[in-house]
Structure 1
Amino acid sequence: MSFSLSTVFRPLTRAVTYTRWLHQLIASVAGTLAGFVHGGTFRSTGMEVWLWIAVLPVPVLLAAALIPAVRRVEGLQAQLLLTPGPHGPEERAGTGISTSPSLSWRDRGRTAGWLLLRLAVGVPVSALTVQLPVLSFAFLQAAAGHRTHFRGLPAIDAPHGWYALLVPLPLVVLLAIAVSAGSLMAAAARRLLGPSAAERLAVLEARTERILEHNRLAQELHDSIGHALTVTVLQAGAARAAGSPEFTDRALAAVEETGRQALTDLERALRLLREDVPHPAARPVLADAERLLESARAAGSTVRAELSGPLAALPGPVSREGYRMVQEALTNVLRHAGPVPVSVRIAADADALELEVRNPMPASPAPAAVGRGLRGLRERAVLLGGKAVAGPDEDGEWRVHARLPLARLR
């Protein structure tokens, strides 16, 4: 029994019960204003007044539903008054109620249905909110021995003490109706003001873009930090083995420059992940490829480079991803083959960008040589509509080759 009573009385302790009630009362405001404009409305008797309030605003509401911003206003009001709990941006997004303006005639039709439903539910609830407490007072008066006759209610011509038993009944009925109508309107709001198919698709696309962006940033951090750590380890080992102060100074300078660039990449990625910087630092492009080549040379490799074509005029996505692909290829050389001679070719023309990195095969190839880095390199190429391959060629060298089309991006 205690559980049943708590279930019955729990809604009365929740703030959302009363905000939903307020939401229903607000629905009759338009009818009340229309009644003042329409002369004679409030000279009617009994329930006729409420009937006029329910009918008069219908044309106005149908016209208002055609205005795109009305759906936004109704959505905000429904979120604030019909849904429980905090109302921050994340909580409002989880209510299932949209706050976007109408984008189609279907949205306008759903908004019109919502406005008419608000009126159809709100006016009776408003009428009962006024009349049922008056009825309780009439029963109280009758229990005290007074004849009562309030407007819109039947007269009580035979007062008696037993009317005291009926005093709480209208209030209980009113609370039950208010709670039930509030739950009904909350469910209807999710159906009639919920996101349209186009809005759900836009949200899904935005979420997918965020996931892809985070994956891309993870790949960039892998490439940048992996390259920096590889160069640092090789430089430190070479400096210790050389025992030359001059070589040690050059090695430390290379480590400093590589580490500084890695820190810049890391800071930019973290800012993007926090989404608190509107204009993050620019990402490196193929026009900065000389920096990669110098880093490989500083690590002890002999780098023969061939750069041709208008690299500075390449489309941004191709140039940025091409830089990361060359960086990953050089990192793999240093990591798995050590400071060996490397041949780099970067050629751009009107149709495509070609990237090629060659190096002698190590005596015992590491199993990770075809791991995450080269897999990410292939994924970058596919996303740009191109193709990348990596593996030994007929000359016994390890070859990384990528071709990225340009014609469709210009």
Structure 2
Amino acid sequence: MIAFLRLLTRAVTYTRWLHLVMAAVVATVFAFVSPGLGNVNSPAGAWLVVVPLPFLAVAAMVPGVRLSEGMQAQLLLFPAGRPAGRKGTEPPHFTPARSASWADRRRTAMWLVVRYEVGVATAFLSVHAPTLVVRLIGGAAGSRPVRVPLGNPVPGGHWSYAVLGLLVAVLFLAFAVLAGELQARAARALLGPSAAERLAALEERTERLLEHNRLARELHDSVGHALTVAVVQAGAARAAGSPAFTEQALAAIEETGRHALEDLERVLAVLREDAPGPAAGRPALTDVERLLTAARGSGAEVTAEVTGALEAVPGPVSREGYRIAQEALTNVVRHAGPVPVSLRIAVRADALELDIRNPLPGAAGSAVSGGGSGLRGIRERAALLGGHAETGVHEGVWRVRAVLPLGA
């Protein structure tokens, strides 16, 4: 009961009622054109709920009608200023738009029919229910017969008429609230996007989120690698105290930083345009020598073995393989320090295999074997291409192994 009374205090309850009774304007026009339709107490009056329907279906074929109806629904059926999508609030509604297909026109026609039928019923009750309440309460206090809509007068002078009048008032208010809620749901279903359109929008949003996640991984790998190399090179140069080594370290920092800036500019350009970026500017396995030079400049003893033609690896696989190798080498430099590292790249007939191994010197083993975002990113990159990646201790050394199908 308290919840029902709370509904009666909401402004949207009355704006929805107004939206419902506005549909009676169409019925009024037809009643003026054909006076017999206006007499609801006669059989001819029943035609008032049927005759306008073909005209409403024709009106629904006009694209602008859907836009007009959507704007009215937005204004009157949905509360303003309330957050959407949280418990206890209105669900998200829709954006009014013109009919863009025959499916939109059919749903607009269904909406006009639903709005008209429910609106006429609401308008009829809005006129006759309050009148009946007054007559019943008056009939309980006097002896005059009580006239009821669509029926014969009944004798007055009985106290139960007052209770019946209150019941009629409550039932009318409940009907108005329920009809308004049903009208709002019908608007979302018939004036909002179709199921196919919602699915297409969801797929587009999912693709955009996936692209943004990929770009986040790109930034993590590229910029993280550059910063790691810069920090390690700078520390080694200061400890060495050799001008020649310092010049070599600065050159490595400059080259790595330049490549990181290029990656950063490319990713930021994609984010600004909110569109997939060109793949041509992204490094691939053919640029793996860049990674080896940076790792060696940081003190790691890297030995590389390449089997097969890297140029034959498909672009997406080659680019993701480069990032996997970059993340693995960055983890070695960051956590294990200047240790021997073996990098093996094998291009087989059906898959690309990457195998990076390094020893675990003391406590560094626990540090490099953590489950950070870098290792998780390696596994995610492999999974997105239909492959798999393994990271962990293997035969006493730390190993990163990834297998990427060439058909991905």
The CA distance in 2 between the partners of 1:236 and 1:16, in whole Å, is 66
Q: CA deviation at 1:83?
A: 0.9
Superposition map of 1:203-352 within 5 A:
205=203, 209=207, 212-213=210-211, 215-262=213-260, 265=263, 276-279=272-275, 282=278, 284-286=282-284, 287-305=286-304, 308-309=308-309, 311=311, 314-348=313-347, 351-352=350-351
Shift of 1:256: 3.7
Shift of the alpha carbon at 1:318? 1.9
Q: How does 1:75-114 map to 2 (within 5 A)?
A: 77-86=72-81, 94-95=91-92, 114=111
SS of alignment partner, residue 366 of structure 1? helix
Residues 228 and 258 of structure 1 are in contact (CA less than 8 Å); yes or no, is this contact kept in structure 2?
A: yes
Residues 162-187 of structure 1: CA distance to partner in whole angstroms, max 9, x if unpaired?
Answer: xxxxxxx9x99998875554234224
Q: Deviations over 1:52-95 (max 9, x none)?
A: 54322223445677999977875564344211024999999943
Q: Contact 2:369–2:398 at 8 Å: present in 1 too?
A: no
Closer, same or farther in 2 for the Cα pair 1:186/1:239, shift >3 Å? Answer: same
1:54 aligned partner, one-letter code: V
Give the 3 Å change call, closer, same or farther, for CA 279–50 of structure 1 in structure 2: same
**Alignment of 1:23 onto 2:16:** no
Q: Which letter does structure 2 place at the counterpart of 1:78? A: A
| Aligned CA distance change for structure 1 residues 45 and 378 (closer, same or farther; 3 Å) | closer
8 Å contact kept, 2:37–2:45? no
Q: Distance in 2 between matches of 1:29 and 1:337?
A: 80
Unaligned runs of 5+ in 1: 136-151, 154-168
Q: Quick one: distance in 1 between partners of 2:323 and 2:239?
A: 30
CA distance in 1: counterparts of 2:348 and 2:64, whole angstroms? 50
Alignment of 1:122-141 (within 5 A): 122-126=119-123
Task: Determine the structure 2 residue equivalent to 1:380.
Answer: 381
Cα pair distance change 1:270/1:19, threshold 3 Å: farther
Q: Tell me, in whole angstroms, the C-alpha distance in 2 between the residues paired with 1:45 and 1:63.
A: 23
**Residues 174-204 of structure 1, C-alpha deviations (whole Å, 9 max, x = no match):** 9887555423422444566677665665566
2:117 alignment partner AA: A
1:404 and 2:400 are equivalent in the alignment: no
Provide closer, same or farther for how the CA distance between residues 74 and 352 of structure 1 changes in structure 2, counting only shifts above 3 A.
farther
* Aligned mates of 1:73, 1:320 — CA distance in 2: 50
1:56 is paired with a residue of what secondary structure? coil
What is the SS of the residue equivalent to 2:273? coil
Q: Give the % identical residues.
A: 56
Alignment-mate amino acid for residue 41 of structure 1 = S
Gaps (5+ residues) in structure 2? 133-148, 151-165
Q: 1:333 to 1:132 in 2, by over 3 A?
A: closer
Partner Cα distance (1:85, 1:213) in 2: 34
Cα 1:202–1:279 change in 2 (3 A) is closer
After TM superposition, give the deviation of residue 133 of structure 1 in Å.
11
Q: Which segment drifts farther, 12-21 or 245-254?
A: 12-21
Q: 1:235 touches 1:255 (CA, 8 Å); kept in 2? A: yes
From the superposition, tell whether residues 379 and 56 of structure 1 become closer, same or farther in structure 2 (CA, over 3 Å). Answer: same
The TM-score, its normalising length taken from structure 1, stands at 0.66
**TM-score, length basis structure 2:** 0.66
Instruction: Name the residue aligned to 2:138.
Output: none
Aligned counterpart, 1:46: 39
